[in-house]
Structure 1
Amino acid sequence: MITPLEESLLKAMILFIMFGLGCSLSTTDFKEALKNPKAVIVGFLSQYLIMPALAFGMAKFFEMSNAWAIGIIIVACCPSGTTSSLFNYFAKGDLALSISLSSITTGAALLAMPILLTVYTAPFEADNLRVDIKSVMLSLVACLLPVAGGMYLRYKSERWAKNMEETGAALGIIVILFLILSWLPRNFDSMINSDASILFTSIGLGLGGFLFGYYFSRFLGMNRRRCRTVALETGIQNGPLAFAIILLSFPDKQMANTILWPALLYSFFIVNTATVVTYFMRRLSRKEWFHFENDEVKNALFTQGWLRP
C-alpha cells in the first residue's frame, strides 16, 4: 500500500510539518488561551472527548475489523494542526482562537493520546494486534520535538518562523496531494471496492466533528465566528501525525499498512469535505456582520453615531 520510498518521504515531510506547526506557536498563545477559557475548554473537550468517542461508536456500530478500528481511533485521538488554521483563515474564523486551540491540544497530546488510545483501542486488540503505548509515546516525542524546535525558532526570529509556518501549512496540503497523486492511482480499485463502513466512517468522522463542534458551541452561547473555529478545529485532525504514529509504532509493515488505510482515506476525504464546509462558512460570514453578534462592536457603532437605537 505504501512503498518504502513513500514511507521515507512521508516521515521527512511529517517532521517538517510539525516544525512548521511549532513556528506558529509561542508561550504567548498559551497565555492568550487563558484569557478566553470558555472557548478553549469547549474546543478541547470537542477534540479529545467527542472525536475519539465518535470514532469508537462508528467502529462498533459497523463492526469494523480490529485493524481498521484502531486506525480510525488513532486519527480521532490526534490533536488539530496547521491545516485547520489554514481553513479557519478562509472561513473567516477566529485565528487567535484557532492557534490557541492548536497550542493547547498539541501540548496535551503527549498525555491525552496514550490515555485515550489505552481506553478506546483495548476492545479491538487481539493476539496479533496490540497497541504498544510505549511505542506510541516514543513516536509522539519524536514528532513533538520538531514542534519545540519551531517554537524556539519563533522565539529567536519572528520573520524566519513566519516563513517556516507558512511552508509547513502548505506542506500539509502537499502531503495529501502527494498521497492522492502517488498512492491513489495504485489503490483506487481498493478504495472503490472497500467496505461501505470504512468509507462512511472516514467521511463521517470529519463531518461529525464539524457538526458537533459548531452546534455544541452555539448551544453554549458562543458567537458564530468562534463556533466556526471550534468546528474546523474539531473536525480536522492532524493526519500527518497519525501517519507517523502508525508507521513508527507498528513494526509489522503489512499490519501497519492495514491500520494506515482508514487514516489515508480520512486524510483524502477531509480535504474535500473541509473545502466545501469552509466555502459555506465563508458565505455565511458575509451576512453575519449585519447581525452584530459582538456587543462591543454594536456599542461602539452606537457611540460613534453610526447606528441609532
Structure 2
Amino acid sequence: MSEQAIAFFQMIVPVGLALIMFSMGLTLQLRDFGLVLRSGRLVSAGLAGQLVALPLLALAIGALFQLPPELALGLFIVAICPAGTTSNALTFVGRGNVALAIVLTALTSLVTVFSIPFLLSWALPWFLAGTREVPSISIPTTMLQLFTITVLPVSLGMIVRHFRPALAERMVPWLRPTAFVVLVAVIGLSVAVAFEMVLRNLAGVGPAIWVLNVMGMAAGLAIGRAIGVGRRDSMTLAIEIGVQNVTLAIFLTLTVLDSLELAVTQNIYGVIMLLNGTILIRLLRRRIAAET
C-alpha cells in the first residue's frame, strides 16, 4: 500500500467511525440505560461475553491454529473491540431485542475506551517480541483518540436527540445505513489496495476467523440459555458478541499502529461476521416470531 493510500485511510476511517457513533447516539436516551437496572443479569452476561469471553477465545484460537504473530495479533485486536452498530441493524432485521443491542453496544464502546489501550500495550510485545520491531503506544493518547471518535460522537448524538428530538427523528433514517455503508466501503477499499496480501493470508487465517466468529455467536446463545432468557434475547447476545466494530479495529491497526498487515485479519472478519450473522438470523427468525 502506498503512503498516499495509507494517509487516505487514516483520514476517512476516523471520520466514518465518528459518523457511525453519532448516528447511534441519535437513537439513545439516558432512560434507555435503565435497562441495566431492569435486566441487570442479562446486560452483565452480554458484557461478560463481549469483553471477557471473546478475547479469551481469540487467544485460544490463535494458539490452536498456530497463526503467525501478526495474524494472531490482528485476531486479538478484533476481539477486544466493542460491538458495532452493524450488530444493532442485524438485531433489528432478525427481530431481536434492539434496546438490549443498543445499550450493550454503547456500554462496550465506553468500556473499551479504557480497556483497549491497556490490552494493546500488553499484546504488542506478547505477540511480536522476537519477530519484528514492536511498535509502542501511549496509553493516554490512545484513550483520547478512542474517546474522540467513539464516546464524544455518541454524546453529541444524544444531545441532539434530547434537545432536538424532531431533528434526530429526521436524521436517523438517513444515517441508519451509515454503519453498513462505511463498513463495506472501508473493507472493500482496503481489500482492493491489499488484494495480494489478503489472498496470501486467506487460507491461513480464514478458518481461524470463521471459528472465532461462530464460537462467539455460539457463546452468546449458550449464555442466553444458561441465564434462562428466550430465543429473542439469546440471538441478540449472539450477535452482540460475534459482530464487532471492525471499523474501529481497522482504525487501530492503520492509524494507531500504522500496520497494513494487522488490518488483513479485520477485513476478512468483517466479511465473515456479516455472512454468519445473516445465517443466524435466517435460522432463528421464525422461531423468534413464534415465541413472541
- Shorter-chain TM-score bucket reads 0.7 to 0.9
Equivalences for residues 4-43 of structure 1 within 5 A: 4-43=7-46
CA shift for structure 1 position 188: 4.2
Match of 2:269 in 1: 266
Among 140, 144, 158, the residue aligned to 2:146: 140
Cα gap change, 1:186 to 1:257, in 2 (>3 Å): closer
Equivalences for residues 97-112 of structure 1 within 5 A: 97-112=100-115
CA shift for structure 1 position 121: 4.7
CA shift for structure 1 position 15: 1.6
The Cα offsets for residues 121-158 of structure 1, whole Å up to 9 and x where unpaired, read as: 55213261235252432321221221221121112122
Match of 1:96 in 2: 99
Match of 1:231 in 2: 238
Q: Tell me the percent identity.
A: 26
Q: Secondary structure at the match of 2:143?
A: helix
Cα distance in 2 between the residues matched to 1:165 and 1:117: 33
Cα distance in 2 between the residues matched to 1:207 and 1:166: 30
Cα distance in 2 between the residues matched to 1:169 and 1:128: 41
Among 74, 77, 94, the residue aligned to 1:74: 77
Cα gap change, 1:55 to 1:129, in 2 (>3 Å): same
Gaps of 5+ in 2: none
CA shift for structure 1 position 180: 5.2
The Cα offsets for residues 11-68 of structure 1, whole Å up to 9 and x where unpaired, read as: 3212211211222222212222211101101100000001111111111222222222
Moved more, 112-121 or 150-159: 112-121
TM-score by length of 2: 0.88
Cα distance in 2 between the residues matched to 1:199 and 1:52: 17
Q: Secondary structure at the match of 2:201?
A: coil
Which AA in structure 2 matches 1:150? G
Query: 2:17, 2:248 within 8 Å by CA — same for their partners in 1?
Result: yes
Structure 2 residue 204 is matched with structure 1 residue 204:
no
Gaps of 5+ in 1: 290-309
Which AA in structure 2 matches 1:243? I
Cα distance in 1 between the residues matched to 2:125 and 2:53: 18
Q: Secondary structure at the match of 1:194?
A: helix
Query: 1:20, 1:167 within 8 Å by CA — same for their partners in 2?
Result: no
Query: 2:221, 2:234 within 8 Å by CA — same for their partners in 1?
Result: yes
Query: 2:13, 2:186 within 8 Å by CA — same for their partners in 1?
Result: no
Which AA in structure 2 matches 1:136? T
Query: 2:10, 2:251 within 8 Å by CA — same for their partners in 1?
Result: no
**Aligned residues, how many?**
285
Equivalences for residues 1-309 of structure 1 within 5 A: 1=1, 3=5, 4-126=7-129, 128-134=133-139, 135-143=141-149, 144-179=151-186, 181-194=188-201, 196-250=203-257, 253=258, 256-289=259-292
Aligned-residue Cα RMSD (Å) equals: 2.3
Cα gap change, 1:133 to 1:158, in 2 (>3 Å): same
